[in-house]
Structure 1
Amino acid sequence: MSLLVVGLNHRTAPTSLLEQASVSPADTPKVLHDLTAAAHVNEAVVLSTCNRTEFYAEVETFHGGVADISDQLSRICGIDLADLAAHLYVHHDARAVGHLFSVVCGLDSMLVGESQILGQVRGAYRAAQEAGGSGAALSGLFQAALRVGKRAHSETSIDAAGASIVAVGIQLAAVSLGVLAETPVAPLTEPAQPAQPPLAGARVLLIGAGAVGSLAAQTARRAGASDIVIANRTAARADRVAQLHGGRVVSLSDLPHEIMLADLVISSTGAAGLVVDQEMTAAGLAGRGGRPLVFLDLALPHDIDPGVRELAGVSLIDIETLRVALDGAQVAHDVEAVRGLVAAEVAGFLDRRRADRVAPTVVALRAHADSVVGAELARLRTRLPDLDSREWEQVQGAVRRVVDKLLHAPTVRVQQLAGAPGGDSYAEALRELFDLPREVPAVVSAPDLDLVEHS
């Protein structure tokens, strides 16, 4: 049996497909029931957010598990598996553990370091427990992941990474607009205080109203933007951002006109293709009277056509630009620190998992040996009735030491070999050779599955 992740996210699928793949809380119990009823899936957890839908599972076989989960996703999306497959990713065992640990720390989010995902993972795990989808294997995995996520957010400043990326992008935009005189080289440590807010009086067009878009609106407002216009495929989300941060909502069809009026365009959608191309930008430049226009593209993949840089008076700041600006800054340091934490935690989890996998065999072997020794000592006692208590203790001790020494090497070695390819076969060999019972002894049964709560 092994761990498996099959899913799609903002890096592999357009927003429209992510919406089709979304699993609502009301639908989660049935989805989990259908999945665990499949031939190859024993346990399952569904993580569904605006930027990802992922199925975590303990499966009997790799290929069978992938097929069962992919079929379920295909039914949810209403799309043939052949068409859906190009957007799916699959992670197995160690990579599955590493993926979940990275997700819960915010390293795999559209906005690096965002902490909302920690609560979303906790909610997905709770829903699986309540629906009976999560057993010992996934409970151990998700409890470990939630602990790792809390460590990342409490021991580093990863929470501030996303906000810092947006803030640096806006400061670089202000430089291009001529508000700030020079590029801020270390805005995350001790930022210089400009004579006026970086976007004082600026008109900002925001394309996309997800978590990144909302943060961009908030940051732009604090930077002094006087007017914020929001365009989004889903009007309800745009309305929420407008209410939270002040602004008005426009249709995506109005983009050419709004580009003509804007000073700064910030885009952060989950679209698979370009949202603003060179032709649309050129049309918007016609009525600007030569005013500079800056695009801040926070999306992956890109929303803004790189070709807009060729147009007079247009500047484009994208993720690559921001990575250069942030190189060596605290954000980069915190991201690397969290990656190191994740790597260490993954290694520790896998070591514990390997030990746990052979523990039932080791305990069963020890229990079998104790039973045999006990029975033989009982028979020996009846044959040697004249031994005093001290002599009898020495006999018992000698017999038990011999058995312990004989079992020491195979039990230690089987734990060491458990991590090697085909490691389970060594434990299986011990079970066959000593005719050990298949059931798990009570002393190594499933651990306490109480939900890990916020500390």
Structure 2
Amino acid sequence: MSLLVVGLNHRTASTSLLERASVSPADTPKVLHDLVAAAHVAEAVVLSTCNRTEIYAEAETFHGGVADISDQISRICGIDLADLAAHLYVHHDARAVGHLFSVVCGLDSMLVGESQILGQVRGAFRASQDAGVAGGGLSALFQAALRVGKRAHSETSIDAAGASIVAVGVQLAAASLGILGEAPAAPVAAPGAATSGLGTGPEPVAPVEAPPLAGARVLLVGAGAVGSLAAQTVRRAGAAEVVIANRTPARAARVAEMHGGRVVGLTDLPHEITMADLVITSTGAAGLVVDHDAVAAALPGRGGRPLVFLDLALPHDIDPAVRDLPGVSLIDLEALRVALDGAQVAHDVEAVRSLVAAEVASFLDRRRAGRVAPTVVALRAHADAVVHGELARLRARMPDLDDREWDLVEGAVRRVVDKLLHAPTVRVQQLAGAPGGDSYAEALRELFDLPREVPAVVSAPDLDLVERS
């Protein structure tokens, strides 16, 4: 069996393509049943969010599984596979485990560290269970992934990473606008302030620091998770006006309602750029949302006011060439990574990556051991059947032995068999964690002519052990 994930996300596909690939909760059961009805897919989980659609599967063969899953995604999107292939990625076995663990921890999200994905993965797994298409392999994987996700969010501050990126971006934007840090040069006495007992005049009053974006007009382009967080951040930073533009007006309206703001259409962007002090983009579009010429056309109507772009999208929304325009500043994710280098957010991201690497190695060890365990159980069951048959024949030939004598004979035979099997069964379990470990179990099956079919009673205890770990 091959563990596979085939999908597309905000790094490989445009927002419009992701919308076409989206699988609603109502459609999920049919998609799952169509997948397992294919020739090579035995188990399946569909994870569909605003930033990704991924199908996880246990497949009979690698190439057959990839073909079946890719065909299913093609049908969901209504796009020929030849045109869709460039946007798809495939991960196999260890890389598939690492990918899911990174996803559930928020490392693969547009907003790094966001915790909403944990609930989305849990919901996807539950839907697969309800449809009866999550067997032992994917159940072990997703239960382990959910446990890793909980560890990441409870043992580190990865949840705050995305918020930190947006907050630092807003601070840098405010500094570029010349708003940050504007305060009276010297302490000013408040009217009617009391004087000191020494008669030296009014007590100085500490200046009240202005909010970083006090009085600023902010244009948000994109109303997803990042855009919503940006709206919240600029409001707290004192923005006087927040304008929201999004491809889906209803989503922009929700953000405006939550954080206060005015909704405009994407066709209004040229005018709104002319009016704005800060433009924050987070659309996830495949191409540029704001190009050099559009910004150049907006500058004459600005009266020389500085204009700052904060590009939080991946791939970027803003043409890098706007940096060359007079009075225009551009802050992108690369600049934010430099600003955050060595900060707590970078530390937490690295801590989660280390956690994921360790958990992937541990899971793969358990998975390999789980594959060997049925062979070990089958070998011992085979040996027990041989011993039982030989003892029955011996008892028939030696009817005069009393119970005490028979117990001694039976015990001796069983001890001999147990000792002969002990070394190979222990060793094959130890070797299972090494590269090519499955080959040792295969050798045992060939040498002892063990059946290929693994009864449920053989595999179930090992799956339970994996799920509880």
Q: 2:360 aligns with which of 335, 338, 346?
A: 346
Q: How does 1:371-390 map to 2 (within 5 A)?
A: 371-380=385-394
Work out whether 1:101 is the aligned partner of 2:101.
yes
Once the two structures are superposed, residues 107-148 of structure 1 have per-residue CA deviations (whole angstroms, 9 ceiling, x without a partner) of 000000000000111111111111122111111111111111
Asked whether the 8 Å contact 2:213–2:239 carries over to 1, the reply is yes
Amino acid in structure 1 at the alignment position of 2:74: S
Q: Aligned equivalents of 2:41 and 2:430: distance in 1?
A: 28
Q: How does 1:57-76 map to 2 (within 5 A)?
A: 57-76=57-76
Once the two structures are superposed, residues 26-72 of structure 1 have per-residue CA deviations (whole angstroms, 9 ceiling, x without a partner) of 11111111111111111111100000000000001111111111111
Amino acid in structure 2 at the alignment position of 1:6: V
Amino acid in structure 2 at the alignment position of 1:179: I
Asked whether the 8 Å contact 1:205–1:230 carries over to 2, the reply is yes
Q: How many matched pairs? A: 440
| Partner in structure 1 of residue 113 of structure 2 | 113
Work out whether 1:151 is the aligned partner of 2:165.
no
Work out whether 1:277 is the aligned partner of 2:277.
no
Q: How does 1:46-445 map to 2 (within 5 A)?
A: 46-181=46-181, 195-380=209-394, 395-419=409-433, 423-445=437-459
Asked whether the 8 Å contact 1:125–1:142 carries over to 2, the reply is yes
| Partner in structure 1 of residue 188 of structure 2 | none
1:441, CA displacement in angstroms? Answer: 4.1
Asked whether the 8 Å contact 1:32–1:46 carries over to 2, the reply is yes
| Partner in structure 2 of residue 186 of structure 1 | none
Q: Aligned equivalents of 1:337 and 1:207: distance in 2?
A: 32
Once the two structures are superposed, residues 204-248 of structure 1 have per-residue CA deviations (whole angstroms, 9 ceiling, x without a partner) of 000000000000001111111110000111111111101111101
SS in 2 for 1:446: helix
Percentage of identical aligned residues: 86
Once the two structures are superposed, residues 363-406 of structure 1 have per-residue CA deviations (whole angstroms, 9 ceiling, x without a partner) of 01112212322343444456667777776555444433322222
Asked whether the 8 Å contact 2:252–2:263 carries over to 1, the reply is yes
**TM-score normalized by structure 1?**
0.92
SS in 1 for 2:43: strand
Gaps of 5+ in 2: 183-206
| Partner in structure 2 of residue 42 of structure 1 | 42
Segment drifting more, 425-434 vs 363-372 = 425-434
**TM-score normalized by structure 2?**
0.89
Q: Aligned equivalents of 1:378 and 1:79: distance in 2?
A: 66
Larger Rg over CA atoms: 2
Gaps of 5+ in 1: 183-192
Amino acid in structure 2 at the alignment position of 1:132: G
SS in 2 for 1:217: helix
Amino acid in structure 1 at the alignment position of 2:324: E
RMSD (Å) for aligned C-alpha atoms: 2.1
SS in 2 for 1:198: coil
Q: Aligned equivalents of 1:291 and 1:390: distance in 2?
A: 103
Amino acid in structure 2 at the alignment position of 1:43: E
SS in 1 for 2:460: coil
1:425, CA displacement in angstroms? Answer: 4.0
Asked whether the 8 Å contact 1:231–1:252 carries over to 2, the reply is yes
Amino acid in structure 2 at the alignment position of 1:83: D
Amino acid in structure 2 at the alignment position of 1:73: I
Asked whether the 8 Å contact 1:5–1:90 carries over to 2, the reply is yes
Asked whether the 8 Å contact 1:4–1:91 carries over to 2, the reply is yes
| Partner in structure 1 of residue 202 of structure 2 | none
Once the two structures are superposed, residues 148-181 of structure 1 have per-residue CA deviations (whole angstroms, 9 ceiling, x without a partner) of 1111111111111111110111011111111224
Amino acid in structure 2 at the alignment position of 1:373: V
| Partner in structure 2 of residue 26 of structure 1 | 26
Once the two structures are superposed, residues 284-310 of structure 1 have per-residue CA deviations (whole angstroms, 9 ceiling, x without a partner) of 111111111111100000101111111
Q: Aligned equivalents of 1:151 and 1:23: distance in 2?
A: 28
1:76, CA displacement in angstroms? Answer: 1.1
Asked whether the 8 Å contact 1:238–1:249 carries over to 2, the reply is yes
Amino acid in structure 2 at the alignment position of 1:262: A
Q: Aligned equivalents of 1:282 and 1:395: distance in 2?
A: 97
| Partner in structure 1 of residue 197 of structure 2 | none
